[in-house]
């Protein structure tokens, strides 16, 4: 009798434990945060199902757009706080870890940042002070409420050279150091990240490792490098991804996968450079009516192979964030080709969890 009672109790406890890990965020607890990029309509509850899913299924959130330089600071003497304030409050209400994205980026930034009253490039001193004011004001406003900031986004080309942005043209590579110094000045306790895409490309990874070393040597705080992880069916390889994780770990920073999506569509190029754009064709949009199971299985394997890496290196991987909640809301339906149907994230167009998520939960439960 006693044995039956014990077995019943064990089965009951196991079922509680399984139920307790009913979400991927539950299953990765203690390994890494499971995040999602959130848009303003989701914060505002325009589609309550999406809002509910975000609150229930994820342990971290990042703003897809509302905290970027242009939306939050459209003119030198004008800040627009409404969406960003609501975003941070949304995360706090749902007891989620909030990341800020992004302070300094060559894209989605007001032209005013770089020009004087005559439309000419400002001096290095003026640009540096404008960066200083922007960062002190934005980081300062959310001091103590945000775990970390994407301080600088996408400063390198894939070949490891510096992107020839207006920041670089006017200030040289030191604009990055200044940004990290200003962010630390604004909130000494907030984590600071460098964020980029194609971090798995060896030349780019080496340049980022060199940047980490230079920032540390200059006494700057840098906690992690964000690998955006806008991946495709065949690139990057698992090996290249593992090599990049090891290089960053050796450089003494944590690794975040900050914008994970895996496009199932043919790609006119590998990357996430928002400036690129290509013509629509049916060949480039083959799954309008749905994804054949054989292709879906290949995508599932791709996601599971990469998720296995995150688990293998969970000592250094602190967060994995999906860049979009569902296949309906992903930016990839219109990038790099407008009007396509992509299937790159973990929830489908009916807001349903894809079967691969249950496989990921099982993997996470089994991992050390
Ligand atoms: O909010 C305006 C709206 O008022 C206006 O009517 C509309 C039409 O012009 O544009 C809206 O802004 C758009 C914004 O998304 C919000 O929807 C911008 O035009 C559009 O360019 C912007 O695209 C975002 C893109 O970054 C550029 O900022 C994508 O949603 C976002 O997913 C994408 O995310 C970036 C990361 O921040 C950095 N890493 C690469 C990643 C993909 O490009």
pLDDT averaged per 10 residues, the chain (length 368)? 66 54 90 98 97 97 98 98 98 98 98 96 98 98 98 98 98 98 98 98 98 98 98 96 98 98 88 70 94 98 98 98 98 94 98 97 93
Mutate to test the pocket of ligand 1, among 226, 262, 274, 275 (most ligand atoms within 8 A of CB): 274
Structural domain contains residue 145? yes
Atom of ligand 1 nearest to the CA of 105: 38
For ligand 1, atom 3, which residue shows the shortest CA distance? 71
d(CA 351, CA 346): 9
Q: Which domain does 64 fall in, by range?
A: 31-366
Structural domain contains residue 24? no
Atom of ligand 1 nearest to the CA of 335: 43
Measured in Å, residue 105 CA sits from the centre of ligand 1 at 13
Ligand 1 interacting residues, C-beta cut-off 6 A: 64-65, 68, 107-108, 153, 228, 259, 272, 274, 331
d(CA 36, CA 25): 11
For ligand 1, atom 21, which residue shows the shortest CA distance? 108
Burial status of residue 259 (CB atoms within 10 A of its CB: 0-12, 13-18, 19 or more): buried
Structural domain contains residue 222? yes
Residue 253's nearest CA partner among 330, 339, 193 is 193
Measured in Å, residue 226 CA sits from the centre of ligand 1 at 19
Measured in Å, residue 65 CA sits from the centre of ligand 1 at 6
Number of domains in the chain: 1
Structural domain contains residue 23? no
Structural domain contains residue 13? no
- DSSP helix, strand, coil percent of the chain (3-state; round to 5): 45, 15, 40
Structural domain contains residue 22? no
Q: What is the pLDDT of residue 1?
A: 64
Q: What CATH number did the domain enclosing 119 receive?
A: 3.20.20.80
Structural domain contains residue 1? no
Helices (H), 187-271: 202-217, 238-250
Structural domain contains residue 5? no
Measured in Å, residue 107 CA sits from the centre of ligand 1 at 10
Q: What is the pLDDT of residue 267?
A: 87
Active site residues: 154, 259
Q: Is the separation of the CB atoms in 108 and 64 below 8 Å?
A: no
């Amino acid at each position: 009798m006693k044995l039956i009672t014990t077995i019943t109790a064990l089965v009951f406890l196991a079922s509680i434990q399984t139920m307790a890990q009913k979400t991927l965020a539950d299953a990765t607890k203690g390994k890494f945060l499971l995040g999602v990029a959130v848009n303003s309509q989701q914060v505002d509850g325009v589609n309550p199902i999406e809002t509910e899913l975000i609150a229930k299924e994820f342990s971290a959130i990042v703003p897809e757009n509302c905290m970027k330089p242009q939306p939050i600071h459209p003119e030198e003497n004008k800040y627009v706080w409404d969406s960003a304030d609501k975003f941070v409050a949304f995360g706090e209400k749902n007891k989620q870890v909030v990341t800020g994205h992004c302070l300094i980026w060559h894209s989605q930034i007001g032209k005013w940042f770089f020009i004087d009253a005559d439309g000419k490039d400002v001096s290095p001193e003026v640009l540096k002070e404008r960066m200083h004011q922007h960062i002190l004001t934005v980081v300062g406003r959310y001091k103590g409420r945000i775990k970390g900031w994407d301080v600088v986004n996408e400063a390198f080309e894939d070949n490891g050279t510096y992107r020839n942005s207006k920041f670089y043209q006017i200030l040289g590579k030191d604009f990055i150091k200044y940004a990290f110094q200003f962010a630390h000045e604004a909130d000494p306790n907030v984590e600071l990240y460098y964020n980029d895409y194609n971090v798995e490309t060896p030349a780019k990874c080496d340049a980022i490792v060199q940047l980490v070393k230079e920032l540390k040597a200059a006494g700057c705080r840098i906690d992690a490098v964000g690998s955006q992880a806008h991946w495709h069916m065949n690139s990057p390889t698992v090996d290249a991804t593992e090599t990049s994780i090891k290089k960053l770990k050796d450089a003494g920073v944590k690794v975040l996968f900050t914008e994970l999506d895996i496009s199932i569509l043919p790609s006119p190029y590998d990357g996430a450079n928002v400036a690129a754009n290509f013509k629509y064709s049916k060949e480039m949009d083959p799954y309008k009516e749905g994804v054949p199971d054989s292709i879906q299985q290949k995508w599932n394997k791709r996601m599971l192979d990469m998720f296995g890496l995150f688990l293998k290196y969970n000592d250094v991987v602190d967060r994995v964030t999906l860049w979009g909640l569902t296949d309906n809301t992903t930016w990839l339906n219109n990038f790099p080709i407008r009007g396509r149907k992509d299937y790159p994230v973990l929830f489908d167009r009916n807001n349903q969890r894809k079967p691969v998520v249950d496989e990921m939960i099982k993997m996470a439960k089994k991992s050390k």
